[in-house]
Amino acid sequence: MSYELTLVRHAQAGYGQGDHSRPLTPAGIRQARELGALLGKKGVEVALILHSTAARATQTAQQIGRAYPDAQLLAEDELYHCSPERLLRLVGEYGPAGGKAILVVGHEPIISMTAQLLTPADADAPYGVVTATAIAFKVPSFTALSGGSGKLTGVFHAPLRA
* pLDDT tens figures, 57-113: 999 999 999 999 999 999 999 999 999 999 999 999 999 878 899 999 999 999 999
pLDDT reading at 162 higher than 70: no
Contact 32, 132 (CB under 8 A): yes
pTM of this structure: 0.96
Task: Give Cβ neighbours of residue 89 (< 8 Å, ≥ 6 apart).
Answer: none
Contact 96, 72 (CB under 8 A): no
Task: Report the mean per-residue pLDDT for the chain.
Answer: 94
How far is the C-alpha of 120 from the C-alpha of 43, rounded, in Å? Answer: 24
Contact 140, 151 (CB under 8 A): no
Paired residues of 135 in beta bridges? 7, 155
* pLDDT tens figures, 29-45: 999 999 999 999 999 99
